[in-house]
Structure 1
Amino acid sequence: MAMRVAPFIPSSDDQENVGVKLRSGKVVEGTRRGYGLRQALSANNTNALQKTFSDMILKDGPLKVSNAGSVKPFAVSRKPVFLDKLVEEADPDTVDKADACMVSGHVKEIMTYLHDQETFYSISEGFLKSRSILPIYRKQLLNWIFEVHAKVNCVQETLFLAVYLIDRFTQLDLTLQKEKYQLVGVTGLWLAAKFEEIYPPDHVSLARMTDNAFQPEELLAMEKKILNTLKFHINRPLACAFLRRASKVGNADVAHHTLAKFFCELSLLDYDLVSIPPSKIAAASLCLAFHISQDTREWTPMIETYTFYKKSDLRSTMTMLARTYKTFKSSKYQAVFTKYSNPKLLSITLSRCLSSPAFNEILTADLSLEGDRTSSNSLSTPPTGIAPSEPAPKLVNCDRCGSSESSSVGKQWVRLNVGGTVFMTTKTTLCRDPNSFLARLRREDELTSDRDETGAFLIDRDPAYFGPVLNFLRHDKLVLNRDLAEEGVLEEAEFCNITDLIKLLKDQITSGDRLSLTGDDTKNHVYRVIHCHEEELTRVVYSMSDGWKVEQLVNLGSHYNFAGDSPTEFLCVMSMECSPAALNNHVEPSDRAKVLQQKGLRM
């Protein structure tokens, strides 16, 4: 299997994949992972490897292995060249020249090669359109993959590569059904671990983590299918590699780098971000971390040169990352947040910068006015060694409703005026159920609606009951306030024709009615009313047994008002818990008891 070249080895400030320097001065990798280049370099073959890299990259271009096994040069969009315009003092690789393991002499060509390879290993936008596997299933699977990845204690590269293998195979295999989607997920994680880890988990353990939904033999068969479908092209450039390079060039500290890693991993869950190149995700994540930190750092020209992106090119991607954070923070997919709430990762999810004014500024930016892919400030003619900017976005189809629209995220927002209350949501949310009233309203060619003066769709419904319906489309989870009746929300769901919500509410209402009829409240009480005089009251109270207790004591006074020495009469109401069977042995009260009960009621 091909060896992955690590163009940037993190410093000791990084919290993972850190090398250990021995007394001899040689740097070796920790027990969890070893970079292929570090394993290969030694005092005897350093020069030979450097010459090999020079021949491979500078003369023939990046290598590609054909099916026959012969090595052929792979055509790229441009020839890699050195960054001669940068003075040596500003070169971030100058300090590593004495360390052969850092390959400072080839790191620029390696990064150029990785940028070229991004287009070869790309994921198409809306690749789940018209498929049985919906974007919500992808969220659920990847959230589970995050949990399994943390359980087996694999490195970050394994996670990024696993997500790529899952998405790439799902895109290519049009016959894949949702029943096998989890099998694809766990097999993709196993493949990525075998590619990245020194000691990967075995397939038997991973099959057990699926709660034995799949057998180890099925993982072996799926592994073969994935590799044949991808034609063994699995060595994709990963966002974490680009991020390490950008962090070194930008002189980022541990807090900035960890926050950027959090944004990179969170982007894996967002279906709308799958088509953005990993290098752009990494650059936007670090730029966002710089922008919202307290010691606001600048996106310097040197960073632009080495990452190939200006800050103006990254604005809309930064906004998409901020909105992804806002969306998943309140969702049930919390695996990434749980991971980065660990003190070992600086508890970065609790950072104040994620609620700072700078973050809110990015969050509320109007993407329709920015257009980072078509910005006039983009690097249309890159300086020495810089990749060309991305082409203008094509018209794509919405993943659910099938209408053609621009990929600009700013045009995805919709305003709904429901009974005088304005709701803001996205077109993707409205299209979660393609047969619903809201999806048809969003398409506009099937259903028309009046609009208010702000352009919001007018819907004559109760906003109190419409809110839970919209939240269900956002998070795939029903949350009701205590003062809201389930029947009212059901009426709203039936009006909007949201099938899953209708079924869920009917099940809840039915189970609630059944609970009220056959619940656990089987305690019954039997009451007795005792008529007694004042001198008898103490004896009656002390003679109570078998679970009887006093509930109420009513003073009846005296029969003869003129007789001041007449004894005062009382009605003593007593109760006792009993089983339903004991109630069957009911005895009718005597005539005197009935008279006393009626007299007590009149009191």
Structure 2
Amino acid sequence: MENRRPVVGKPVPSVREMGNRRPLRDINNIVGAHPYPCAIAKKPMLEKNVKDEKKPALPSRRPVTRKFAASLGNKEQPDRQATAAQTAPPGFDPKNETITIDSDDDIESVDDTDMDALEDESLMDIDSADSGNPLAATEYVEEIYKYYRENEETSCVRPDYMSSQGDINEKMRAILIDWLIEVHYKFELMDETLFLTVNIIDRFLEKEVVPRKKLQLVGVTAMLLACKYEEVSVPVVEDLILISDRAYMKGEVLEMEKWILNTLEFNMSVPTPYVFMRRILKAADSDRKLHLVSFFMLELCLVEYQMLKYRPSLLAAAAIYTAQRAISRCWHWTKVCEFHSRYTRDQLIECSNKMVQFHQNAGGGKLTGVHRKYSTFKFGCVAKAEPAGFLQI
């Protein structure tokens, strides 16, 4: 949607004029539907030629001390081979030892016995590369995430709240969220908007009994509220009415908006799994593939009512752990990830096993919205990756 704001005085476009936007009954979010078109077929990024760089490339997995990371932006490094030849001890074999650069002029060899100590030193050092970025808030990022962990209970709901609903059930919730994931994709909204939308729906349904005919209205209104909180360019009410096949009037959406806000006491500032995903992905030194597979795992959990029993931070950590295992096929959960997530590998196994099951069944169930979304080139076709079935106990 290039221009979401309607021209004053211009009538609302008909369903025929909607272009690619389809109503709920024609959204194709059931089994057998055709996959999404390639919305954005970006060219693959070319790797940089290290020979043409003035500064040597820094391996992403190499342990880096804070002193060296701070010096990268201020000084050019001398030739690495010449420095190594001058400072290396007799009998030095680079195949058996790991090199860590402590300053521009000093090179220190670290063997396997010292790696644990070096990793302990780097536990608090994942933000050093962003020290010059004011948006990273490195001075108080730890305080921010401490606050998130202390208050994430406010974003949680009772895992059995559907028992208080007389006219809707968990299957209807799954259909609604699967459809909203597709609407979110078509409107090209930000990731945080989707997670806040689902959170608003669950917190509202926990406190209010909603008839079946109003459930979709709750969903589109929750997305409208999340967009107002997270987005720069917000879809107008008429957009949501059109995508809902004109099932509701504008006045009904605005009335539902007031009902939701009053029920939730205008509390939109809750830590969702998204905020924890960003932090733990940084601790995991993620690349694009790990990032996409992790979010694929997490969005599969949004549809599943049974996953409400897990805290947002645990869902985020388990999604990254499962994605790492699907990509690298190993069990290891690094100390850095454990430190910043506050979860050990054993604490993640149960949740991770459920995610593996969702991955295995993602393409064959009745609700395939997440699978088709992550089967597009825009999302790296990561849904077609081999599930980490070996994790299951």
Range class of TM-score, shorter chain = 0.5 to 0.7
In structure 2, do the counterparts of structure 1 residues 248 and 284 end up closer, same or farther at CA, with 3 Å as the change threshold? same
How many angstroms apart in 2 are the aligned matches of 1:89 and 1:206?
Answer: 45
Deviations, residues 513-563 of structure 1 (Å, cap 9, x unaligned): xxxxxxxxxxxxxxxxxxxxxxxxxxxxxxxxxxxxxxxxxxxxxxxxxxx
Structure 1 residue 329: deviation in Å? 2.7
Structure-to-structure mapping, 1:93-108, within 5 angstroms: 93-108=127-142
How many angstroms apart in 2 are the aligned matches of 1:93 and 1:267?
Answer: 29
| Greater per-residue strand proportion | 1
Structure-to-structure mapping, 1:3-82, within 5 angstroms: none
Residue aligning to 1:544 = none
Matched, 1:360 2:384: no
| Greater per-residue helix proportion | 2
Structure 1 residue 177: deviation in Å? 1.0
Q: 2:327 aligns with which of 293, 300, 306?
A: 293
Residue aligning to 1:586 = none
TM-score, normalised on structure 1? Answer: 0.44
Q: 1:164 aligns with which of 184, 188, 199?
A: 199
Structure 1 residue 90: deviation in Å? 5.7
Structure 1 residue 86: deviation in Å? 5.0
Deviations, residues 223-255 of structure 1 (Å, cap 9, x unaligned): 000000000112121212211111111112111
Deviations, residues 376-396 of structure 1 (Å, cap 9, x unaligned): xxxxxxxxxxxxxxxxxxxxx
Residue aligning to 1:32 = none
Q: 2:373 aligns with which of 333, 339, 345?
A: 339
Structure 1 residue 296: deviation in Å? 3.9
How many angstroms apart in 2 are the aligned matches of 1:89 and 1:291?
Answer: 22
Residue aligning to 1:57 = none
Structure-to-structure mapping, 1:170-319, within 5 angstroms: 170-174=205-209, 176-294=210-328, 296=330, 298-319=332-353
How many angstroms apart in 1 are the aligned matches of 2:359 and 2:211?
Answer: 29
How many angstroms apart in 1 are the aligned matches of 2:153 and 2:124?
Answer: 30
> What secondary structure is seen at the aligned counterpart in 1 of 2:303?
coil
Task: Verify the 8 A CA contact 1:88 1:94 in the aligned structure 2.
Answer: no
What stretches of structure 2 of length at least 5 have no aligned partner?
1-41, 43-118
How many angstroms apart in 1 are the aligned matches of 2:199 and 2:123?
Answer: 38
How many angstroms apart in 1 are the aligned matches of 2:151 and 2:286?
Answer: 26
Task: Verify the 8 A CA contact 2:123 2:339 in the aligned structure 1.
Answer: no
Deviations, residues 199-240 of structure 1 (Å, cap 9, x unaligned): 110011101211111011100000000000000112121212
How many angstroms apart in 2 are the aligned matches of 1:86 and 1:140?
Answer: 45
Task: Verify the 8 A CA contact 2:293 2:382 in the aligned structure 1.
Answer: yes
Letter of the 2:254 counterpart: L
Structure 1 residue 103: deviation in Å? 1.1
How many angstroms apart in 2 are the aligned matches of 1:293 and 1:328?
Answer: 17
> What secondary structure is seen at the aligned counterpart in 1 of 2:126?
coil
Q: 2:162 aligns with which of 128, 132, 135?
A: 128
Deviations, residues 582-602 of structure 1 (Å, cap 9, x unaligned): xxxxxxxxxxxxxxxxxxxxx
Structure 1 residue 361: deviation in Å? 2.0
How many angstroms apart in 2 are the aligned matches of 1:190 and 1:202?
Answer: 8
Task: Verify the 8 A CA contact 2:158 2:308 in the aligned structure 1.
Answer: yes
How many angstroms apart in 2 are the aligned matches of 1:246 and 1:294?
Answer: 17
Structure 1 residue 92: deviation in Å? 0.6
> What secondary structure is seen at the aligned counterpart in 1 of 2:271?
coil
Structure 1 residue 133: deviation in Å? 0.9
> What secondary structure is seen at the aligned counterpart in 1 of 2:356?
helix
Task: Verify the 8 A CA contact 2:321 2:333 in the aligned structure 1.
Answer: yes
In structure 2, do the counterparts of structure 1 residues 100 and 138 end up closer, same or farther at CA, with 3 Å as the change threshold? same
In structure 2, do the counterparts of structure 1 residues 90 and 120 end up closer, same or farther at CA, with 3 Å as the change threshold? closer
Structure 1 residue 195: deviation in Å? 0.7
Q: 1:330 aligns with which of 340, 358, 364?
A: 364
Structure-to-structure mapping, 1:535-574, within 5 angstroms: none
Task: Verify the 8 A CA contact 2:159 2:309 in the aligned structure 1.
Answer: yes
Deviations, residues 346-380 of structure 1 (Å, cap 9, x unaligned): 100112x32xxxx2222x42xxxxxxxxxxxxxxx
Task: Verify the 8 A CA contact 1:193 1:201 in the aligned structure 2.
Answer: yes
In structure 2, do the counterparts of structure 1 residues 327 and 89 end up closer, same or farther at CA, with 3 Å as the change threshold? closer
Matched, 1:151 2:186: yes
Give the number of the structure whose alpha-carbon radius of gyration is greater.
Answer: 1
How many angstroms apart in 1 are the aligned matches of 2:329 and 2:306?
Answer: 31
How many angstroms apart in 1 are the aligned matches of 2:185 and 2:345?
Answer: 33
Structure 1 residue 89: deviation in Å? 7.8
Structure 1 residue 295: deviation in Å? 6.3
In structure 2, do the counterparts of structure 1 residues 340 and 247 end up closer, same or farther at CA, with 3 Å as the change threshold? same
In structure 2, do the counterparts of structure 1 residues 340 and 87 end up closer, same or farther at CA, with 3 Å as the change threshold? same
Q: 1:91 aligns with which of 125, 131, 136?
A: 125
> What secondary structure is seen at the aligned counterpart in 1 of 2:161?
coil
Q: 1:350 aligns with which of 384, 389, 392?
A: 384
Letter of the 2:258 counterpart: K
How many angstroms apart in 2 are the aligned matches of 1:325 and 1:297?
Answer: 18
Structure 1 residue 130: deviation in Å? 4.5
Residue aligning to 2:355 = 321
Task: Verify the 8 A CA contact 2:181 2:369 in the aligned structure 1.
Answer: yes
Letter of the 2:203 counterpart: R
Structure-to-structure mapping, 1:587-602, within 5 angstroms: none
How many angstroms apart in 1 are the aligned matches of 2:187 and 2:331?
Answer: 36
How many angstroms apart in 2 are the aligned matches of 1:230 and 1:194?
Answer: 15
Structure 1 residue 136: deviation in Å? 0.9
Task: Verify the 8 A CA contact 1:267 1:321 in the aligned structure 2.
Answer: yes
What stretches of structure 1 of length at least 5 have no aligned partner?
1-14, 16-84, 366-603
> What secondary structure is seen at the aligned counterpart in 1 of 2:324?
helix
